[in-house]
A and B are shown apart, each in its own frame.
Chain A
Amino acid sequence: MIELRDIHKTFGANHVLRGVDLTVTKGNSLVIIGGSGTGKSVTLKCILGLIKPDQGQIFVDGQNVEDASRDAFLARFGMLFQGAALFDSIPVWQNVAFRLMRGALKRPKDEAREVAIEKLRRVGLKPEVADKFPAELSGGMQKRVGLARAIAADPEIIFFDEPTTGLDPIMSGVINDLIREIVTEMGATALTITHDMTSVRAIADNVAMLHDGVVKWTGPVNDMDTSGDPYVDQFIHGRAEGPIAAVR
Protein backbone atom coordinates (compact mmCIF):
# COMPACT_ATOMS: atom_id res chain seq x y z
CA MET A 1 0.00 0.00 0.00
CA ILE A 2 1.22 3.46 -0.89
CA GLU A 3 0.05 6.49 1.02
CA LEU A 4 0.79 10.13 0.32
CA ARG A 5 -0.08 12.67 2.99
CA ASP A 6 -0.18 16.38 2.30
CA ILE A 7 2.65 16.46 -0.25
CA HIS A 8 3.88 19.91 -1.30
CA LYS A 9 6.46 20.70 -3.94
CA THR A 10 7.58 24.05 -5.30
CA PHE A 11 10.00 24.75 -8.16
CA GLY A 12 11.08 28.36 -7.87
CA ALA A 13 7.85 30.35 -8.02
CA ASN A 14 5.94 27.39 -9.42
CA HIS A 15 3.91 25.81 -6.62
CA VAL A 16 3.22 22.47 -8.31
CA LEU A 17 1.91 20.21 -5.57
CA ARG A 18 -0.18 21.88 -2.87
CA GLY A 19 -1.17 19.11 -0.51
CA VAL A 20 -1.62 15.87 -2.41
CA ASP A 21 -3.31 13.06 -0.46
CA LEU A 22 -3.45 9.75 -2.24
CA THR A 23 -3.80 6.08 -1.35
CA VAL A 24 -3.08 3.09 -3.55
CA THR A 25 -4.06 -0.23 -2.03
CA LYS A 26 -2.00 -3.35 -2.57
CA GLY A 27 -2.76 -5.27 -5.76
CA ASN A 28 -4.80 -2.38 -7.05
CA SER A 29 -4.47 -0.29 -10.16
CA LEU A 30 -4.79 3.45 -9.73
CA VAL A 31 -4.77 5.80 -12.67
CA ILE A 32 -3.89 9.45 -12.21
CA ILE A 33 -5.46 11.81 -14.71
CA GLY A 34 -5.11 15.56 -14.93
CA GLY A 35 -4.06 18.34 -17.24
CA SER A 36 -0.63 18.72 -18.70
CA GLY A 37 1.80 20.28 -16.22
CA THR A 38 -0.30 19.63 -13.12
CA GLY A 39 2.44 17.63 -11.46
CA LYS A 40 1.54 14.02 -12.18
CA SER A 41 5.07 13.02 -13.11
CA VAL A 42 6.42 15.00 -10.17
CA THR A 43 4.12 13.03 -7.84
CA LEU A 44 5.55 9.71 -9.04
CA LYS A 45 9.10 11.00 -8.68
CA CYS A 46 8.35 12.09 -5.13
CA ILE A 47 7.27 8.58 -4.21
CA LEU A 48 10.46 7.14 -5.69
CA GLY A 49 12.57 9.72 -3.87
CA LEU A 50 13.90 11.21 -7.12
CA ILE A 51 12.42 14.53 -6.06
CA LYS A 52 12.26 15.48 -2.42
CA PRO A 53 8.91 16.94 -1.39
CA ASP A 54 9.06 20.24 0.52
CA GLN A 55 6.48 19.02 2.97
CA GLY A 56 4.39 15.92 3.70
CA GLN A 57 4.99 12.23 4.16
CA ILE A 58 4.97 9.16 1.96
CA PHE A 59 4.44 5.67 3.34
CA VAL A 60 4.89 2.37 1.57
CA ASP A 61 3.42 -0.55 3.52
CA GLY A 62 3.23 1.67 6.57
CA GLN A 63 6.90 2.59 6.49
CA ASN A 64 7.98 6.17 5.89
CA VAL A 65 10.04 6.12 2.68
CA GLU A 66 12.64 8.39 4.24
CA ASP A 67 13.44 5.73 6.84
CA ALA A 68 13.53 2.85 4.37
CA SER A 69 16.81 1.42 3.10
CA ARG A 70 17.09 2.85 -0.41
CA ASP A 71 18.26 -0.32 -2.13
CA ALA A 72 15.67 -2.62 -0.61
CA PHE A 73 13.00 0.00 -1.25
CA LEU A 74 13.85 0.55 -4.91
CA ALA A 75 14.23 -3.17 -5.57
CA ARG A 76 10.46 -3.47 -5.18
CA PHE A 77 9.72 -0.85 -7.84
CA GLY A 78 9.60 -0.70 -11.58
CA MET A 79 9.20 2.61 -13.37
CA LEU A 80 8.41 3.54 -16.95
CA PHE A 81 9.50 7.14 -17.53
CA GLN A 82 7.46 9.49 -19.67
CA GLY A 83 10.36 9.85 -22.11
CA ALA A 84 11.34 6.16 -21.83
CA ALA A 85 14.79 7.18 -20.48
CA LEU A 86 16.62 4.30 -22.15
CA PHE A 87 20.40 4.16 -21.75
CA ASP A 88 21.60 4.93 -25.23
CA SER A 89 25.11 3.56 -24.77
CA ILE A 90 23.93 -0.05 -24.42
CA PRO A 91 21.78 -2.25 -26.68
CA VAL A 92 18.08 -2.74 -26.12
CA TRP A 93 18.30 -6.12 -24.44
CA GLN A 94 20.85 -4.86 -21.91
CA ASN A 95 18.53 -1.98 -21.15
CA VAL A 96 15.71 -4.39 -20.43
CA ALA A 97 17.92 -6.73 -18.42
CA PHE A 98 19.77 -3.91 -16.64
CA ARG A 99 18.65 -4.93 -13.20
CA LEU A 100 19.30 -8.60 -13.91
CA MET A 101 22.92 -8.03 -14.84
CA ARG A 102 24.16 -6.32 -11.71
CA GLY A 103 23.48 -6.05 -8.01
CA ALA A 104 21.36 -8.38 -5.91
CA LEU A 105 19.37 -9.84 -8.81
CA LYS A 106 22.43 -10.61 -10.94
CA ARG A 107 22.22 -13.75 -13.06
CA PRO A 108 24.18 -15.28 -15.96
CA LYS A 109 24.30 -13.21 -19.12
CA ASP A 110 22.43 -15.58 -21.43
CA GLU A 111 19.71 -16.09 -18.86
CA ALA A 112 19.30 -12.31 -18.50
CA ARG A 113 19.14 -12.03 -22.26
CA GLU A 114 16.42 -14.68 -22.45
CA VAL A 115 14.34 -12.84 -19.88
CA ALA A 116 14.85 -9.61 -21.82
CA ILE A 117 13.68 -11.17 -25.07
CA GLU A 118 10.64 -12.66 -23.34
CA LYS A 119 9.73 -9.25 -21.86
CA LEU A 120 10.22 -7.60 -25.23
CA ARG A 121 7.80 -10.11 -26.73
CA ARG A 122 5.25 -9.22 -24.08
CA VAL A 123 5.34 -5.57 -25.13
CA GLY A 124 4.96 -6.58 -28.77
CA LEU A 125 8.59 -6.32 -29.90
CA LYS A 126 10.37 -8.95 -31.99
CA PRO A 127 13.62 -10.58 -30.81
CA GLU A 128 15.48 -8.77 -33.61
CA VAL A 129 15.01 -5.53 -31.69
CA ALA A 130 17.12 -6.88 -28.82
CA ASP A 131 20.47 -6.12 -30.42
CA LYS A 132 19.60 -2.69 -31.72
CA PHE A 133 20.51 0.50 -29.93
CA PRO A 134 17.75 2.71 -28.49
CA ALA A 135 18.51 5.52 -30.93
CA GLU A 136 17.63 3.19 -33.82
CA LEU A 137 14.06 2.70 -32.59
CA SER A 138 10.94 4.76 -33.15
CA GLY A 139 9.44 6.71 -30.24
CA GLY A 140 6.71 4.16 -29.67
CA MET A 141 9.19 1.28 -29.75
CA GLN A 142 11.42 3.06 -27.23
CA LYS A 143 8.41 3.51 -24.98
CA ARG A 144 7.71 -0.21 -25.12
CA VAL A 145 11.34 -1.07 -24.39
CA GLY A 146 11.04 1.20 -21.35
CA LEU A 147 7.97 -0.73 -20.36
CA ALA A 148 9.80 -4.04 -20.77
CA ARG A 149 12.60 -2.71 -18.57
CA ALA A 150 10.13 -1.62 -15.91
CA ILE A 151 8.63 -5.10 -15.65
CA ALA A 152 11.83 -7.08 -16.24
CA ALA A 153 12.48 -7.98 -12.61
CA ASP A 154 8.79 -8.64 -11.84
CA PRO A 155 8.47 -5.78 -9.34
CA GLU A 156 5.68 -5.62 -6.76
CA ILE A 157 4.92 -2.00 -7.47
CA ILE A 158 5.00 -0.54 -10.97
CA PHE A 159 4.69 3.06 -12.10
CA PHE A 160 3.78 3.81 -15.69
CA ASP A 161 4.12 7.39 -16.85
CA GLU A 162 1.96 7.63 -19.99
CA PRO A 163 2.53 4.06 -21.23
CA THR A 164 0.44 4.41 -24.40
CA THR A 165 1.40 7.89 -25.55
CA GLY A 166 2.79 7.71 -29.07
CA LEU A 167 1.50 4.18 -29.74
CA ASP A 168 -0.95 3.17 -32.45
CA PRO A 169 -4.41 2.06 -31.22
CA ILE A 170 -3.65 -1.65 -31.56
CA MET A 171 -0.38 -1.38 -29.63
CA SER A 172 -2.18 0.72 -27.02
CA GLY A 173 -4.62 -2.14 -26.64
CA VAL A 174 -1.77 -4.63 -26.23
CA ILE A 175 -0.14 -2.47 -23.57
CA ASN A 176 -3.41 -1.87 -21.71
CA ASP A 177 -4.01 -5.63 -21.60
CA LEU A 178 -0.46 -6.19 -20.41
CA ILE A 179 -0.79 -3.73 -17.55
CA ARG A 180 -4.12 -5.23 -16.52
CA GLU A 181 -2.57 -8.70 -16.67
CA ILE A 182 0.38 -7.68 -14.51
CA VAL A 183 -2.01 -6.42 -11.86
CA THR A 184 -4.49 -9.31 -11.89
CA GLU A 185 -2.12 -12.22 -12.52
CA MET A 186 1.02 -11.13 -10.73
CA GLY A 187 -0.82 -9.23 -8.02
CA ALA A 188 1.31 -6.14 -8.60
CA THR A 189 0.29 -2.68 -7.48
CA ALA A 190 0.17 -0.28 -10.40
CA LEU A 191 0.12 3.48 -10.57
CA THR A 192 -0.40 4.79 -14.08
CA ILE A 193 -0.51 8.27 -15.53
CA THR A 194 -2.39 8.60 -18.78
CA HIS A 195 -4.32 11.07 -20.90
CA ASP A 196 -5.91 8.32 -22.92
CA MET A 197 -9.46 7.74 -21.64
CA THR A 198 -9.65 4.31 -23.31
CA SER A 199 -6.59 3.33 -21.31
CA VAL A 200 -8.11 4.69 -18.12
CA ARG A 201 -11.15 2.46 -18.54
CA ALA A 202 -9.05 -0.54 -19.49
CA ILE A 203 -6.41 -0.26 -16.76
CA ALA A 204 -7.95 1.40 -13.73
CA ASP A 205 -9.57 0.01 -10.63
CA ASN A 206 -9.55 3.51 -9.21
CA VAL A 207 -9.03 6.93 -10.66
CA ALA A 208 -7.61 10.08 -9.12
CA MET A 209 -7.84 13.46 -10.75
CA LEU A 210 -5.06 15.92 -10.06
CA HIS A 211 -5.72 19.60 -10.51
CA ASP A 212 -4.35 22.80 -8.98
CA GLY A 213 -1.84 20.78 -6.98
CA VAL A 214 -4.41 18.66 -5.14
CA VAL A 215 -6.42 15.52 -5.80
CA LYS A 216 -9.76 16.98 -6.86
CA TRP A 217 -11.61 13.70 -7.13
CA THR A 218 -10.88 10.08 -6.49
CA GLY A 219 -13.05 6.99 -6.79
CA PRO A 220 -13.67 3.69 -8.58
CA VAL A 221 -13.41 3.87 -12.35
CA ASN A 222 -17.08 2.91 -12.70
CA ASP A 223 -18.12 6.04 -10.81
CA MET A 224 -16.07 8.29 -13.03
CA ASP A 225 -18.87 9.04 -15.50
CA THR A 226 -21.36 9.82 -12.76
CA SER A 227 -19.01 11.63 -10.41
CA GLY A 228 -20.90 14.91 -10.75
CA ASP A 229 -17.54 16.63 -10.37
CA PRO A 230 -17.31 19.43 -12.95
CA TYR A 231 -13.50 19.02 -13.27
CA VAL A 232 -13.73 15.31 -13.95
CA ASP A 233 -16.61 15.80 -16.38
CA GLN A 234 -14.79 18.42 -18.35
CA PHE A 235 -11.64 16.31 -18.45
CA ILE A 236 -13.09 12.98 -19.49
CA HIS A 237 -15.19 14.56 -22.20
CA GLY A 238 -12.37 16.79 -23.35
CA ARG A 239 -14.42 20.00 -23.36
CA ALA A 240 -12.67 23.32 -23.87
CA GLU A 241 -15.34 25.03 -21.72
CA GLY A 242 -15.46 24.41 -17.99
CA PRO A 243 -13.75 25.09 -14.68
CA ILE A 244 -10.34 24.00 -16.01
CA ALA A 245 -8.77 26.86 -17.96
CA ALA A 246 -7.64 25.92 -21.46
CA VAL A 247 -4.54 28.08 -21.20
CA ARG A 248 -2.19 26.95 -18.44
Chain B
Amino acid sequence: MIHFLASIGRAVMAALAKVGSVALFALETISHLFRPPFYGREFWHALIQIGWLSLPVVGLTAFFTGGALALQIFAGGSRYGAEAVVPSIVAIGMVRELGPVLGGLMVAARVASSIAAEIGTMKVTEQIDALVTLSTHPMKYLTLPRVLAATLAVPVLVAVGDSVGIMGGYLVGVGRLDFNAATYLKNTVDFLEPWDITSGLFKGAAFGFIVATMGCYHGMQSGRGAQGVGAATKSAVVSASVLIFAANYILTELFFAA
Protein backbone atom coordinates (compact mmCIF):
# COMPACT_ATOMS: atom_id res chain seq x y z
CA MET B 1 0.00 0.00 0.00
CA ILE B 2 2.75 2.38 0.99
CA HIS B 3 4.61 1.44 -2.18
CA PHE B 4 1.55 2.07 -4.24
CA LEU B 5 1.01 5.52 -2.73
CA ALA B 6 4.68 6.33 -3.08
CA SER B 7 4.65 5.44 -6.74
CA ILE B 8 1.60 7.62 -7.31
CA GLY B 9 3.34 10.41 -5.45
CA ARG B 10 6.43 10.03 -7.60
CA ALA B 11 4.40 10.09 -10.81
CA VAL B 12 2.57 13.23 -9.71
CA MET B 13 5.82 14.92 -8.74
CA ALA B 14 7.36 14.01 -12.11
CA ALA B 15 4.34 15.34 -13.95
CA LEU B 16 4.41 18.58 -11.99
CA ALA B 17 8.13 18.97 -12.62
CA LYS B 18 7.45 18.53 -16.34
CA VAL B 19 4.70 21.14 -16.29
CA GLY B 20 7.02 23.50 -14.47
CA SER B 21 9.85 23.01 -16.89
CA VAL B 22 7.59 23.52 -19.91
CA ALA B 23 6.19 26.67 -18.32
CA LEU B 24 9.69 28.01 -17.64
CA PHE B 25 10.66 27.22 -21.21
CA ALA B 26 7.64 29.11 -22.54
CA LEU B 27 8.33 32.08 -20.28
CA GLU B 28 11.97 32.18 -21.30
CA THR B 29 10.95 32.11 -24.94
CA ILE B 30 8.63 35.07 -24.42
CA SER B 31 11.30 36.96 -22.51
CA HIS B 32 13.60 36.80 -25.55
CA LEU B 33 10.97 38.75 -27.44
CA PHE B 34 12.08 41.77 -25.45
CA ARG B 35 15.82 41.19 -25.52
CA PRO B 36 17.89 41.69 -28.68
CA PRO B 37 19.49 40.42 -30.81
CA PHE B 38 16.67 39.21 -33.06
CA TYR B 39 17.14 36.94 -36.02
CA GLY B 40 14.82 38.22 -38.75
CA ARG B 41 15.92 35.78 -41.40
CA GLU B 42 15.16 32.85 -39.15
CA PHE B 43 11.74 34.34 -38.47
CA TRP B 44 10.90 34.69 -42.18
CA HIS B 45 12.12 31.21 -42.82
CA ALA B 46 9.92 29.87 -40.01
CA LEU B 47 6.95 31.87 -41.28
CA ILE B 48 7.23 30.23 -44.69
CA GLN B 49 7.77 26.76 -43.25
CA ILE B 50 4.97 26.97 -40.71
CA GLY B 51 2.47 29.25 -42.39
CA TRP B 52 2.73 29.14 -46.14
CA LEU B 53 3.59 25.47 -46.49
CA SER B 54 0.78 24.41 -44.14
CA LEU B 55 -1.86 26.05 -46.31
CA PRO B 56 -2.65 23.02 -48.50
CA VAL B 57 -3.10 20.58 -45.65
CA VAL B 58 -5.17 22.99 -43.54
CA GLY B 59 -7.26 23.99 -46.55
CA LEU B 60 -7.99 20.41 -47.61
CA THR B 61 -8.88 19.34 -44.08
CA ALA B 62 -11.26 22.26 -43.69
CA PHE B 63 -12.83 21.72 -47.11
CA PHE B 64 -13.79 18.12 -46.46
CA THR B 65 -14.85 18.84 -42.91
CA GLY B 66 -17.14 21.64 -44.05
CA GLY B 67 -18.71 19.32 -46.61
CA ALA B 68 -19.23 16.49 -44.14
CA LEU B 69 -20.61 18.93 -41.59
CA ALA B 70 -23.26 20.12 -44.05
CA LEU B 71 -24.35 16.54 -44.71
CA GLN B 72 -24.54 15.68 -41.01
CA ILE B 73 -26.41 18.79 -39.99
CA PHE B 74 -28.81 18.28 -42.84
CA ALA B 75 -29.45 14.68 -41.72
CA GLY B 76 -29.85 15.75 -38.09
CA GLY B 77 -31.89 18.85 -38.90
CA SER B 78 -34.31 16.99 -41.17
CA ARG B 79 -35.51 14.96 -38.17
CA TYR B 80 -37.00 18.18 -36.78
CA GLY B 81 -37.79 19.70 -40.12
CA ALA B 82 -35.00 22.20 -39.47
CA GLU B 83 -32.89 21.75 -42.61
CA ALA B 84 -32.66 25.49 -42.98
CA VAL B 85 -30.13 25.74 -40.15
CA VAL B 86 -27.43 24.04 -42.24
CA PRO B 87 -25.67 27.20 -43.51
CA SER B 88 -25.52 28.99 -40.17
CA ILE B 89 -24.51 25.93 -38.13
CA VAL B 90 -21.83 25.00 -40.64
CA ALA B 91 -20.48 28.55 -40.41
CA ILE B 92 -20.63 28.79 -36.64
CA GLY B 93 -19.25 25.27 -36.11
CA MET B 94 -16.42 25.97 -38.48
CA VAL B 95 -15.27 29.36 -37.20
CA ARG B 96 -15.79 28.76 -33.49
CA GLU B 97 -14.63 25.20 -33.13
CA LEU B 98 -13.58 23.07 -36.07
CA GLY B 99 -11.50 25.62 -37.95
CA PRO B 100 -9.16 26.40 -35.06
CA VAL B 101 -9.03 22.88 -33.59
CA LEU B 102 -8.52 21.04 -36.88
CA GLY B 103 -6.13 23.70 -38.12
CA GLY B 104 -4.19 23.47 -34.86
CA LEU B 105 -4.06 19.69 -35.02
CA MET B 106 -2.91 19.60 -38.62
CA VAL B 107 -0.20 22.13 -37.80
CA ALA B 108 0.73 20.03 -34.76
CA ALA B 109 1.15 16.99 -36.97
CA ARG B 110 3.11 18.85 -39.60
CA VAL B 111 5.06 21.42 -37.65
CA ALA B 112 5.56 20.17 -34.09
CA SER B 113 7.08 16.98 -35.48
CA SER B 114 9.39 18.68 -37.92
CA ILE B 115 10.53 21.29 -35.39
CA ALA B 116 11.24 18.62 -32.78
CA ALA B 117 13.07 16.43 -35.27
CA GLU B 118 15.14 19.31 -36.61
CA ILE B 119 16.12 20.74 -33.23
CA GLY B 120 16.56 17.25 -31.75
CA THR B 121 18.96 16.33 -34.54
CA MET B 122 20.83 19.57 -33.98
CA LYS B 123 21.07 18.66 -30.32
CA VAL B 124 22.44 15.15 -30.84
CA THR B 125 24.90 16.26 -33.53
CA GLU B 126 26.22 19.01 -31.22
CA GLN B 127 24.94 21.78 -33.49
CA ILE B 128 23.28 23.43 -30.50
CA ASP B 129 26.60 23.38 -28.64
CA ALA B 130 28.24 24.80 -31.75
CA LEU B 131 25.69 27.64 -31.81
CA VAL B 132 26.57 28.51 -28.24
CA THR B 133 30.30 28.57 -28.95
CA LEU B 134 29.57 30.89 -31.86
CA SER B 135 27.99 33.33 -29.38
CA THR B 136 24.45 32.64 -30.62
CA HIS B 137 21.73 31.90 -28.10
CA PRO B 138 19.78 28.81 -29.22
CA MET B 139 16.56 30.17 -27.68
CA LYS B 140 16.89 33.36 -29.72
CA TYR B 141 18.08 31.72 -32.90
CA LEU B 142 15.93 28.59 -32.94
CA THR B 143 13.02 28.83 -30.51
CA LEU B 144 11.76 32.41 -30.61
CA PRO B 145 11.53 32.69 -34.43
CA ARG B 146 9.54 29.46 -34.64
CA VAL B 147 7.23 30.22 -31.73
CA LEU B 148 6.57 33.75 -32.94
CA ALA B 149 5.98 32.61 -36.52
CA ALA B 150 3.55 29.90 -35.42
CA THR B 151 1.65 32.24 -33.10
CA LEU B 152 1.16 34.72 -35.93
CA ALA B 153 0.68 32.26 -38.78
CA VAL B 154 -1.83 29.83 -37.32
CA PRO B 155 -4.61 32.46 -36.93
CA VAL B 156 -4.17 33.26 -40.61
CA LEU B 157 -4.33 29.55 -41.42
CA VAL B 158 -7.47 29.32 -39.30
CA ALA B 159 -9.05 32.20 -41.20
CA VAL B 160 -8.27 30.47 -44.48
CA GLY B 161 -9.52 27.16 -43.09
CA ASP B 162 -12.77 28.80 -41.91
CA SER B 163 -13.42 30.23 -45.35
CA VAL B 164 -12.57 27.04 -47.20
CA GLY B 165 -14.64 24.99 -44.75
CA ILE B 166 -17.66 27.21 -45.24
CA MET B 167 -17.13 26.94 -48.96
CA GLY B 168 -17.05 23.16 -48.66
CA GLY B 169 -20.37 23.29 -46.84
CA TYR B 170 -21.73 25.64 -49.47
CA LEU B 171 -20.74 23.38 -52.35
CA VAL B 172 -22.35 20.38 -50.69
CA GLY B 173 -25.37 22.40 -49.63
CA VAL B 174 -26.01 23.77 -53.11
CA GLY B 175 -24.79 20.79 -55.12
CA ARG B 176 -26.13 17.86 -53.13
CA LEU B 177 -28.78 19.19 -50.77
CA ASP B 178 -30.57 21.49 -53.19
CA PHE B 179 -30.15 24.70 -51.26
CA ASN B 180 -30.62 27.91 -53.15
CA ALA B 181 -27.17 29.43 -53.61
CA ALA B 182 -28.15 32.97 -52.64
CA THR B 183 -30.15 31.84 -49.60
CA TYR B 184 -27.29 29.67 -48.40
CA LEU B 185 -24.85 32.58 -48.54
CA LYS B 186 -27.32 34.96 -46.92
CA ASN B 187 -27.98 32.55 -44.03
CA THR B 188 -24.26 32.00 -43.58
CA VAL B 189 -23.55 35.69 -43.25
CA ASP B 190 -26.63 36.75 -41.32
CA PHE B 191 -26.14 34.51 -38.34
CA LEU B 192 -22.40 34.91 -38.01
CA GLU B 193 -21.20 37.41 -35.41
CA PRO B 194 -17.76 39.02 -35.42
CA TRP B 195 -16.86 37.47 -32.08
CA ASP B 196 -17.53 34.00 -33.49
CA ILE B 197 -14.71 34.63 -35.91
CA THR B 198 -12.26 36.51 -33.70
CA SER B 199 -12.56 34.02 -30.86
CA GLY B 200 -11.53 31.30 -33.30
CA LEU B 201 -8.54 33.37 -34.40
CA PHE B 202 -7.45 33.84 -30.78
CA LYS B 203 -7.69 30.10 -30.33
CA GLY B 204 -5.54 29.70 -33.41
CA ALA B 205 -2.86 31.96 -31.95
CA ALA B 206 -2.87 29.96 -28.72
CA PHE B 207 -2.64 26.68 -30.62
CA GLY B 208 0.19 27.97 -32.77
CA PHE B 209 2.10 28.98 -29.66
CA ILE B 210 1.50 25.55 -28.14
CA VAL B 211 2.59 23.68 -31.26
CA ALA B 212 5.88 25.51 -31.76
CA THR B 213 6.70 25.61 -28.07
CA MET B 214 6.18 21.86 -27.70
CA GLY B 215 8.23 21.19 -30.84
CA CYS B 216 11.13 23.32 -29.59
CA TYR B 217 10.92 22.09 -26.01
CA HIS B 218 11.02 18.42 -26.88
CA GLY B 219 13.69 18.99 -29.51
CA MET B 220 15.91 20.78 -27.01
CA GLN B 221 15.30 18.03 -24.43
CA SER B 222 16.02 15.29 -26.94
CA GLY B 223 17.99 12.30 -25.69
CA ARG B 224 21.09 11.04 -27.43
CA GLY B 225 21.02 9.26 -30.76
CA ALA B 226 18.34 8.60 -33.35
CA GLN B 227 16.14 6.99 -30.72
CA GLY B 228 16.24 10.19 -28.67
CA VAL B 229 15.13 12.24 -31.67
CA GLY B 230 12.34 9.76 -32.44
CA ALA B 231 11.06 9.94 -28.88
CA ALA B 232 11.28 13.74 -28.90
CA THR B 233 9.24 13.93 -32.12
CA LYS B 234 6.55 11.65 -30.76
CA SER B 235 6.34 13.53 -27.45
CA ALA B 236 6.11 16.84 -29.29
CA VAL B 237 3.15 15.76 -31.45
CA VAL B 238 1.30 13.97 -28.66
CA SER B 239 1.73 16.73 -26.10
CA ALA B 240 0.90 19.47 -28.60
CA SER B 241 -2.30 17.67 -29.61
CA VAL B 242 -3.45 17.00 -26.06
CA LEU B 243 -2.63 20.55 -25.01
CA ILE B 244 -4.59 21.91 -27.98
CA PHE B 245 -7.70 20.06 -26.81
CA ALA B 246 -7.20 21.17 -23.22
CA ALA B 247 -6.56 24.77 -24.23
CA ASN B 248 -9.57 24.65 -26.54
CA TYR B 249 -11.84 23.67 -23.68
CA ILE B 250 -10.43 26.31 -21.36
CA LEU B 251 -10.65 29.05 -24.00
CA THR B 252 -14.19 28.03 -24.90
CA GLU B 253 -15.16 28.31 -21.22
CA LEU B 254 -13.51 31.72 -21.04
CA PHE B 255 -14.98 33.04 -24.26
CA PHE B 256 -18.48 31.63 -24.26
CA ALA B 257 -19.60 30.44 -20.81
CA ALA B 258 -22.03 33.14 -19.83
A48 at interface, CB cutoff 8 A: yes
A86 at interface, CB cutoff 8 A: yes
Q: B135 near A71 (CB under 8 angstroms)? A: yes
Q: A79 near B37 (CB under 8 angstroms)? A: no
Q: Would A74 and B133 be within 8 Å (CB), given that A102-B37, A102-B39 are in contact?
A: yes
Q: How far is the CA of A88 from the CA of B125 in the complex (A)?
A: 10
Q: A85 near B130 (CB under 8 angstroms)? A: yes
A122 at interface, CB cutoff 8 A: no
Q: A85 near B136 (CB under 8 angstroms)? A: no
Q: B130 near A75 (CB under 8 angstroms)? A: no
Q: How far is the CA of A99 from the CA of B122 in the complex (A)?
A: 18
A98 proximity list for chain B (CB < 8 A)? 134, 136
The SS class assigned to the A binding surface is mixed
Q: A50 near B135 (CB under 8 angstroms)? A: no
B-contact bits for A65-107, CB 8 A (1 contact / 0 none): 0000001001101110111011111000000001100111000
What total of chain B residues lie within 8 Å of the partner, measured CB to CB? 15
A26 at interface, CB cutoff 8 A: no
Q: B129 near A81 (CB under 8 angstroms)? A: yes
A78 proximity list for chain B (CB < 8 A)? 133
Q: How far is the CA of A142 from the CA of B39 in the complex (A)?
A: 25
Q: Which of B123-139 contact A (CB under 8 A)?
A: 125-127, 129-136
A52 at interface, CB cutoff 8 A: no
A45 at interface, CB cutoff 8 A: yes
Q: How far is the CA of A83 from the CA of B130 in the complex (A)?
A: 11
Q: How far is the CA of A196 from the CA of B158 in the complex (A)?
A: 58
Q: How far is the CA of A50 from the CA of B131 in the complex (A)?
A: 11
Q: A102 near B136 (CB under 8 angstroms)? A: yes
Q: How far is the CA of A49 from the CA of B132 in the complex (A)?
A: 9
Q: Would A48 and B133 be within 8 Å (CB), given that A102-B37, A102-B39 are in contact?
A: yes
A99 proximity list for chain B (CB < 8 A)? 134-135
Taking the closest CB of chain A, its distance from the CB of B38, in whole angstroms, is 10
The 3 tightest CB contacts between A and B, nearest first, are: A85-B126, A85-B130, A79-B133
Residues in chain A within 8 A of chain B (CB atoms): 45, 48-50, 71, 74-75, 77-79, 81-83, 85-89, 98-99, 102-104, 149
| 9 intermolecular pairs with C-beta atoms under 8 Å apart | A45-B129, A49-B132, A74-B132, A78-B133, A86-B127, A87-B122, A87-B130, A102-B136, A104-B135
